[in-house]
Amino acid sequence: MSILIDQDTRVIVQGITGRDGSFHTERMLEYGTKIVGGVTPGKGGQEVQGVPVFDTVAEAVAATGANTSVVFVPARFAKDALLEAAEAPLKLVVCITEGIPTLDALIAYEALKAKGIRLIGPNCPGLTSPGKAKVGIMPGHIHKEGRTGVVSRSGTLTYEIVASLTAGGIGQSTCIGIGGDPIIGSRFIDLLPLFEADPETDSVVLIGEIGGQDEVVAANYYQRSMSKTVVAFVAGLTAPPGKRMGHAGALVGGEDETAASKIEKLEAAGIPVARIPSEVPKLLSLAKMGYTHASA
């Protein structure tokens, strides 16, 4: 089983005729994702990789029965693209675009939320349910079908840790990159309950970084409400205060936003934390047996 996407998910690509949109449409189709339409204003009637292009999201959804959109629209047009998606009967919108102004992202998030549409991103790699579908830019070959969920603020670390899990024989149910911007549509606290409720996910890997309190909120939720095994990795142990490290949201604004502080709180809640990414598969295997440290 999986969460959010599966083999029946019907996807439209906003920005399908652009460089990134067309490239990743081909990769998603190769993986087996049902890409049923694309949207580029003024280019309706064309095709990309055999996929019909429409002028508007409303036209695309009406013609194809799509329930999911993935957005590759340039940052200056992304707010309008997301607001257009909010007016369609979609269940999920995945925004890959990075560099969207914070106010634009907030306006779009509120519009989607008001319509009951879940947003993943912006500035994220999307998500993959191995063997079923991928929506976004994750490399498909690193995944393996299995029972471990992955949820991450970092795209590159997602790839590294998923590849390590696969190499260690640990398959994944769904892998989600939530993005690292200050305003994102879905945080750890929004997705952990979905993994907890999924009967075919029995463990979760949480990948965090400096800045904000998302990992601490997740730790509190785990301690209060989760029965499944969770292990974590938090990037940025050597990050200096006040300096942005990669993502716009990866900025230590106070002592409790450091990696060290987050690791302490995660471990206090009973979540083992790997010190390097390659430790995650071993730590997960040990945690399932009741151990809490990779050195056990």
| Best CA proximity match to 181, nearest among 68, 270, 96, 58 | 96
- The residue from 141, 143, 247, 293 that is catalytic is 247
Question: Do residues 184 and 154 lie in contact, with contact meaning Cβ atoms separated by under 8 Å?
Answer: no
- C-alpha 293/C-alpha 275 separation (Å) is 10
Tokens of 84: 């257009």
Task: Return left, alpha or beta for 109; rule: phi > 0 is left, psi -120 to 50 is alpha, else beta.
Answer: alpha
Sheet holding 203-209, edge to edge: 133-136, 126-129, 172-177, 145-152, 203-209, 229-235, 273-274
Q: For strands 133-136 and 47-48, give the pairing.
A: unpaired
| DSSP H or E stretch at residue 69 | strand 68-71
24 is catalytic: no
- C-alpha 91/C-alpha 214 separation (Å) is 24
Strands annotated E in 113-245? 118-120, 126-129, 133-136, 145-152, 172-177, 203-209, 229-235
So which residues are the catalytic ones? 247
